[in-house]
Structure 1
Amino acid sequence: MSRPSNPEKSPITAKATLSAPAPAPAPATSNADDDAALEADLNDLTLEQPKATGLYEEFESHEIEVTLANDSHAAAAATTFEALGLAPELLKGLYAMNFTKPSKVQERALPLLLHDPPTNLIAQSQSGTGKTAAFALTMLSRIDYTATNAPPQAVCMTNTRELALQIVKVVREMGQFTPVKVCMAVKDEVPRGAKVTDHIVIGTPGTILDLNRKRQLDFKNVKVLVLDEADAMLDAQNLGEQSRRVRQVMPKTAQVLLFSATFPDHVKSFATAFAPSANMIVLKREEVKVEAIKQFYLRVKGDKAAKFEKLSDLYGLLTVGQSIIFTQTKATAMDVAKRMQAEGHQVSVITGDLMPADRDQVMADFRSGKSKVLIATNVLARGIDVPQINLVVNYDLPVDEAGRPDLEVYVHRIGRTGRFGRSGVSINFIDGERAMSIQNKIVAHYAMQVTEMPDDFEAMEKMLREFKFN
């Protein structure tokens, strides 16, 4: 594996050649989970890890730029988990999850994350590169199980309950051979008046802030604060204010870790203020795309009825594996779902308006494969890992509140497929000049290639079926 000639120089740019991982030791039997009710939901999550010909080959040519803070020292990349000095219980958990060696991003990030004394980190890397596992391992490594002071010792905030549920699963599975207790702090999960006594709290900023106000959650002994999907969490127009208020009541000594696939320019200043003197790991902008995804666009002529008819025609292809159809608004999502169901198509729908229990059930059905086609707003654009997804349809291309192309959301959306080295397809519906203009700006920004699909359905079907899903 090649390394920088001068490891003390900042920034550091490293190119790596990764060999295929050795087979993992056989998983040991997991401890029983204390929270049986939540575990029933979590059982539907599928964690498939990268194989020798998947993730490692896909990202081996990507260039990662590491910028060290002024008072930081360069840390050697970790090519094995054993080199990190992890507790045997955590190594055992990694092996049980079929993690055999760090991904390229983890090679660079983990030595910085686990360094003592702890330092802040801002990490930008695309979907499927191991961000969740990296910060989960960091939180678990910082827990002192002999401490008698008030918990929690680590807090992770993300922007949706679905992502929180997914992160809880990863932390519990990785820490299954430790005594760790994990609380999912989202709406309706923490009983009114109950004190949070878990080592790690994972949830949304509004609920976490509310629990603190009600004195159910004490932050005074928090060692690590993680923001997943940090670009959304720090956006002044989104969850930024709640996130900053949580940060204000955290100990000044807490290690702050920000992770996201994208950090748009208007969020970077918030990020550096939120995590001062942070080391930075960045996948260079021209690399922020998903090569495993074949992108198409389909011209749609006519009105809304014609647009829906095209989607209905695609239904047979949507169910080859699993698919997500993204719409810009909740109203469109519900309308498309009703029309599809009226035509006898089996689809499910998820928006932010659904009750928490209903959202959980929709996701459980989708993850288990009971539901093949999911219609969603941007609530699912970020971070959700369902390995069987091989097709994403942008029924509406994403735009921000000002009507401009939402570049970051587009990357997050198509990143729901083609994960962990698998192949995938995305299809953009282009129903006019404005939609074409939006697509052109996205394509130009990321230097992507998007191929036009034929209007003839049989030719369209042949083109898609010729693209091999794996």
Structure 2
Amino acid sequence: MSPKDPATPGFSSLGLSPSLVSAVTALGYEEPTPIQREAIPFLLEGRDVLGQAGTGTGKTAAFALPMLHRLVKEAGTKRGVTRGFILVPTRELAMQVAEATHKYAKGLNLTVVPVYGGSPMDLQIRALRRGADIVVATPGRALDHLKRGTLNLENVSVLVLDEADEMLDMGFADDLEAILESTPEGKQTALFAATFAKRLQSIATKHLKNPARVTIAAEKTVAGKLPKIRQTAYVMPRPQKLQALDRILEFEDPQSAIVFCRTRLEVEEVTESLQAHGYGAQAIHGGMLQKQRDRVMGLFRSQKADILVATDVAARGLDIEHVSHVINFDIPLSPEVYVHRIGRTGRAGREGVAITLVDPRQSRLMRNIESLTRQRVEIAALPTPSDLRARRMTSTV
């Protein structure tokens, strides 16, 4: 989204309070995204919502703005009592959603508290005791607080399940049920997911009342919707990939890059190789301590590390605008994962670059990707030593 003239119609046409419209305008939001345009009016009416939309569609504002609108309008309620509750699958997403909601709530005198695993429990308990109008939580840590009595959901009037399909895929089905049973029957509920499997449908049927159904097609998978991402593939056997990656990085000279690997072991191997060649590379994967992952993400967000080597799980939910290149060290088995990966670049109107290293035996996977995106991926020859010399001369001119 880009800055807009506050006088032009945008979020104000959806029925949000002037203070919220001012907040999103000040943040540079222009027109509502499709999910925001569809979901916000239903939520402002007090209806339950079942939303199907992928990452990068603007879901956070779609549920956070109506929640804030409602909590401010609820008269006679003591501030600091938890009335808004947002469940998300990962720590990183909890931090992002809490930060965004806090920005939207500027000047509203509402407190937003994130609670997630890997962070000191005593700090979270103190924050909750000071008062939390809105809590953003991961299922495991939310259940811990409920069992300890440090989180009270009896006064929740708005509940959001974000990326609910991911929560089920990560094994949180029982935790979700236990948490939902701790909330009042009369609450408003919004459930968002990229896909709706049978078990998710059963949760929606049980916990949502006559929900409004909002379905937004993921723009990234539609033909012609990746015009700002240059897609290239290099074909080579597995043993040549590390050397090839080094040459590609020297030739491309990325401002900031994410290198996706399939396994934790591969992440470590690629990171060590890049560091040995002088790159500011940092690894992130699910086997690391949360403190380590936080430190790595801090370095990457502040651009003190220019290459993030990651597994898909570790990178889920990340939204970093300055990524210029995405490199698939391994071609993903699912074309949808490919689209999700390369969607990390080409943000905010900038042109992005997506590069994939393909084993000769994986040509079928490449064809599946082209079939889904309906775009050709250019098969290129690796930059030669003379290409690199020419590039060095150009960059020093």
State the TM-score, normalizing by the size of structure 1.
0.72
User: How large is the RMSD of aligned CA atoms in angstroms?
Assistant: 3.1
Whole-Å Cα distance in 1 between the matches of residues 371 and 172 of structure 2?
Answer: 29
Structure 2 contact 34–216 (Cα < 8 Å) conserved: no
TM-superposition CA deviations, 1:194-250 (whole Å, max 9, x none)? 445301111211111111111110111112222222321233x54333333322322
Answer yes or no: is 1:316 the counterpart of 2:250. Answer: yes
Match of 1:221?
155
Match of 1:427?
355
1:458 CA drift (Å): 7.0
Structure 1 contact 229–382 (Cα < 8 Å) conserved: no
TM-superposition CA deviations, 1:131-157 (whole Å, max 9, x none)? 222222122122247413873111112
Whole-Å Cα distance in 1 between the matches of residues 199 and 349 of structure 2?
Answer: 29
Match of 1:132?
60
Match of 1:299?
235
Match of 1:437?
364
Match of 2:291?
357
1:243 is matched with which residue: 151, 176, 183? 176
Whole-Å Cα distance in 2 between the matches of residues 438 and 297 of structure 1?
Answer: 12
Answer yes or no: is 1:234 the counterpart of 2:168. Answer: yes
**Which 10-residue stretch deviates more, 212-221 or 376-385?**
376-385
1:103 CA drift (Å): 2.5
Whole-Å Cα distance in 2 between the matches of residues 266 and 419 of structure 1?
Answer: 33
Whole-Å Cα distance in 1 between the matches of residues 337 and 203 of structure 2?
Answer: 18
Structure 1 contact 185–203 (Cα < 8 Å) conserved: yes
Structure 1 contact 234–270 (Cα < 8 Å) conserved: no
Structure 2 contact 3–28 (Cα < 8 Å) conserved: no
1:424 CA drift (Å): 1.5
Which secondary structure does the structure 2 equivalent of 1:344 belong to?
coil
Paired letter, 1:103: T
Give aligned-pair identity as a percent. Answer: 30
**Which 10-residue stretch deviates more, 240-249 or 389-398?**
240-249
TM-superposition CA deviations, 1:397-432 (whole Å, max 9, x none)? 33xxxxxx3344333222211223332121222124
Whole-Å Cα distance in 2 between the matches of residues 228 and 459 of structure 1?
Answer: 50
Match of 2:201?
269
Structure 1 contact 127–419 (Cα < 8 Å) conserved: no
State the TM-score, normalizing by the size of structure 2.
0.85
1:411 is matched with which residue: 324, 330, 339? 339
Structure 1 contact 224–255 (Cα < 8 Å) conserved: yes
Match of 2:122?
191
TM-superposition CA deviations, 1:272-291 (whole Å, max 9, x none)? 43545322222347863452
Whole-Å Cα distance in 1 between the matches of residues 251 and 5 of structure 2?
Answer: 35
Paired letter, 2:343: G
Which secondary structure does the structure 2 equivalent of 1:138 belong to?
helix
Which secondary structure does the structure 2 equivalent of 1:348 belong to?
strand
1:24 CA drift (Å): 4.3
Paired letter, 1:385: D
2:5 is matched with which residue: 23, 38, 56? 23
Match of 1:388?
322
- With over 3 angstroms needed to count, the CA separation of the structure-2 counterparts of 1:322 and 1:281, relative to structure 1, is same
Answer yes or no: is 1:336 the counterpart of 2:263. Answer: no
Match of 1:468?
none
- With over 3 angstroms needed to count, the CA separation of the structure-2 counterparts of 1:248 and 1:432, relative to structure 1, is farther
Match of 2:221?
288
Unaligned ranges ≥5, structure 1: 1-17, 26-51, 53-78, 399-404, 465-470
Whole-Å Cα distance in 2 between the matches of residues 391 and 206 of structure 1?
Answer: 34
- With over 3 angstroms needed to count, the CA separation of the structure-2 counterparts of 1:259 and 1:172, relative to structure 1, is same
Match of 2:395?
none
- With over 3 angstroms needed to count, the CA separation of the structure-2 counterparts of 1:391 and 1:122, relative to structure 1, is farther
Aligned 1:155-194 pairs, distance under 5 A: 155-187=85-117, 188-191=119-122, 194=126
Whole-Å Cα distance in 2 between the matches of residues 247 and 259 of structure 1?
Answer: 15
Paired letter, 1:263: T
Structure 1 contact 105–130 (Cα < 8 Å) conserved: yes
Structure 2 contact 48–188 (Cα < 8 Å) conserved: yes
Structure 1 contact 125–283 (Cα < 8 Å) conserved: yes
**Which 10-residue stretch deviates more, 345-354 or 226-235?**
226-235
Structure 1 contact 180–199 (Cα < 8 Å) conserved: yes
Q: Which structure has the highest helix share of the two?
A: 2
Paired letter, 1:450: V
Aligned 1:141-156 pairs, distance under 5 A: 141-143=69-71, 144=74, 146-148=76-78, 151-156=81-86
- With over 3 angstroms needed to count, the CA separation of the structure-2 counterparts of 1:332 and 1:276, relative to structure 1, is farther
- With over 3 angstroms needed to count, the CA separation of the structure-2 counterparts of 1:265 and 1:386, relative to structure 1, is same
Answer yes or no: is 1:96 the counterpart of 2:23. Answer: no
- With over 3 angstroms needed to count, the CA separation of the structure-2 counterparts of 1:375 and 1:359, relative to structure 1, is same
**Which 10-residue stretch deviates more, 142-151 or 194-203?**
142-151
Answer yes or no: is 1:259 the counterpart of 2:195. Answer: no
Whole-Å Cα distance in 2 between the matches of residues 444 and 215 of structure 1?
Answer: 51
